[in-house]
Amino acid sequence: MKQLIYFPLWFFKTRILGKKIPLQSVIFITDKCNLRCRHCCIYSTKNMITKKYKQIKKELEYCYNQGSRFVDFEGGEPTLWRDGEKNINDLFNLARETGFFTTTVTTNGQNPFSNLKADSIWVSVDGFEEFHDEVRGKHTFERLVRNINSAKHPHLSINMVVNSLNYKSVEQTIEFAKNNPNIEMISINFHTPYKNTEYLFLDWDKRVEVIDKVISLKRKGYPIMNSISGLKRMKYMDFKKYCWISNFIHISGQKTVDCGGSLLGLCNKCGFSMSGEMHSLMNINPDTIFAGLKLRLNK
């Protein structure tokens, strides 16, 4: 109910009054990770940081006071987060006590995650079988499938980042999502070329082909989170960005209204589907509004 009131109010203040109020927050809680993925630029950081519970509490309060009502805990591998006796479930509880409507976590799925108390869980699946392993390491696909199959979470979805190594596996991965009864939906993103990962950037022509394929599968009823309007936007990245809809608190504690890619000037090569979705939302595309409400309201 609170959400039903909050959404139109937020939309009025931002779209009509022109205020920049974040709706969702991304809080990085640890750099620690149990994988060394090709596309990632975090694990190679020299000084690994894990934030303290007290610091995350302050950061949650800050985001809430900014207007944000949805929070995503990010890493490194966020499920590895600990502070003494506390683990990540204490952070989900803390976020709810602070007033957030829902909590989300993105995991590489290498450890069992059926105990996670987030409202939604996103498992990164970068292709089917060997395509995923090529990006994330041997046997990582096998392990995450085992963990997905034993998880009993009502809102478990997968997130694929399409790159020059795995783009041929997009359709198979979407099929995998459709055929696995434990998976609610799949989100499609593209590789953003951070330093030393430029070779994974997918050519624009191939990106357009992949997007057209994803749109045709979506039209056939495949459980794809992206809206068609949002996907079309991601073809050229030549649109006005509304990425302040998410705010970020980085592992250093730095608070920004821009993501790491934007701070590095990568917006025109961005692959995060949310940038297209946010543009379409602000342009009042009904299918994007519907996709957004579906993502947020059924939790």
Ligand X SMILES: C[S@@+](CC[C@H](N)C(=O)[O-])C[C@H]1O[C@@H](n2cnc3c(N)ncnc32)[C@H](O)[C@@H]1O
- In terms of CB distance, is 271 or 292 closer to ligand X? 271
State the DSSP string of 46-90: SS--B--HHHHHHHHHHHHHHT--EEEEEES-GGG-EETTEEHHH
Considering only residues 165 to 194 of the shown chain, the ones binding ligand X according to CB under 6 A are 189, 191-192, 194
Extended strands (E) in the chain: 24-30, 70-75, 82-83, 86-87, 102-107, 120-124, 156-162, 186-190, 246-249, 255-256
Reduced to 3 states (helix: H, G, I; strand: E, B; else coil), residue 113 is coil
Which residues face 189 on adjacent strands? 161
296 touches ligand X (CB under 6 A): no
Considering only residues 41 to 60 of the shown chain, the ones binding ligand X according to CB under 6 A are 42
In the complex, what is the shortest distance from the CB of residue 96 to ligand X, in angstroms, rounded to a whole number?
Answer: 21
- In terms of CB distance, is 216 or 256 closer to ligand X? 256
Q: How many CA atoms lie within 13 A of 111 on its CB side?
A: 12
Per CB under 6 A, the list member of 108, 140, 166, 262 interacting with ligand X is 108
- In terms of CB distance, is 22 or 260 closer to ligand X? 260
Per CB under 6 A, the list member of 14, 25, 30, 106 interacting with ligand X is 106
Q: Which stretch binds ligand X (CB under 6 A): 3-11, 19-27, 33-41, 247-255?
A: 33-41
Per CB under 6 A, the list member of 74, 134, 184, 277 interacting with ligand X is 74
CA angle at 98 for the pair 2 and 92, rounded to the nearest 5°: 100
Amino acid letter, 229: S
The closest residue (CB) to ligand X is 124
Contact 189, 270 (CB under 8 A): no
Considering only residues 221 to 280 of the shown chain, the ones binding ligand X according to CB under 6 A are 271
* Distance, C-alpha 256 to centroid of its chain: 17
- In terms of CB distance, is 243 or 285 closer to ligand X? 243
In the complex, what is the shortest distance from the CB of residue 12 to ligand X, in angstroms, rounded to a whole number?
Answer: 32
In the complex, what is the shortest distance from the CB of residue 79 to ligand X, in angstroms, rounded to a whole number?
Answer: 8
Amino acid letter, 184: E
Q: Across the chain, which distance is largest between two alpha carbons, in Å?
A: 51
In the complex, what is the shortest distance from the CB of residue 202 to ligand X, in angstroms, rounded to a whole number?
Answer: 11
In the complex, what is the shortest distance from the CB of residue 19 to ligand X, in angstroms, rounded to a whole number?
Answer: 28
What is d(CA 251, CA 201) in angstroms, rounded to the nearest whole number? 25
Which position has the token pair 């970020």? Answer: 248
Q: Which stretch binds ligand X (CB under 6 A): 32-40, 62-70, 112-120, 228-236?
A: 32-40
What is d(CA 167, CA 159) in angstroms, rounded to the nearest whole number? 14
- In terms of CB distance, is 60 or 162 closer to ligand X? 162
In the complex, what is the shortest distance from the CB of residue 40 to ligand X, in angstroms, rounded to a whole number?
Answer: 5
107 touches ligand X (CB under 6 A): yes
33 touches ligand X (CB under 6 A): yes
In the complex, what is the shortest distance from the CB of residue 135 to ligand X, in angstroms, rounded to a whole number?
Answer: 8
Reduced to 3 states (helix: H, G, I; strand: E, B; else coil), residue 284 is coil
Residues that bind ligand X (CB under 6 A): 33, 39-40, 42, 74-75, 77, 106-108, 124, 159, 161, 189, 191-192, 194, 197, 271
